[in-house]
Amino acid sequence: INSIRRRKIKSKGGKEVSVTQNIAEYIKERGIPLTKLSRRTEIPYSIIYSCFAENYRNRDLRADELLKICKTLKVNPMDFMDK
């Protein structure tokens, strides 16, 4: 499964941001604990952390992980493409 990294979106400032970064911002704004997200999605915490931890982001989401997270958060994956 391909990484979501290849899909970059230009933000209002013209800077490119990834879908993973958009979801990270969404999670942070809503105060969703990474441990809770990990349990509910059944994605290992180490993967969640490496995608979303503020000072440690070194991995982008895979498509299947994106879909699990969006289903858990009850949001449309396309919402993160247009941000």
Q: What is the pLDDT along the chain (83 residues), one digit of tens a residue?
A: 344 444 444 444 555 678 999 999 999 999 999 999 999 999 999 999 999 988 777 889 999 999 999 999 999 999 998 55
Residue 44 belongs to what H/E stretch?
none
> Helix, strand, or coil here: 62?
strand
Specify the pLDDT at position 4. Answer: 43
Query: Could you give the CA distance from residue 79 to residue 83 in angstroms, rounded to a whole number?
Result: 7
What is the model's pTM?
Answer: 0.77
* DSSP count for the chain of H helices, then E strands: 4, 2
- Residue whose C-alpha is closest to residue 2's, from 18, 22, 26: 18
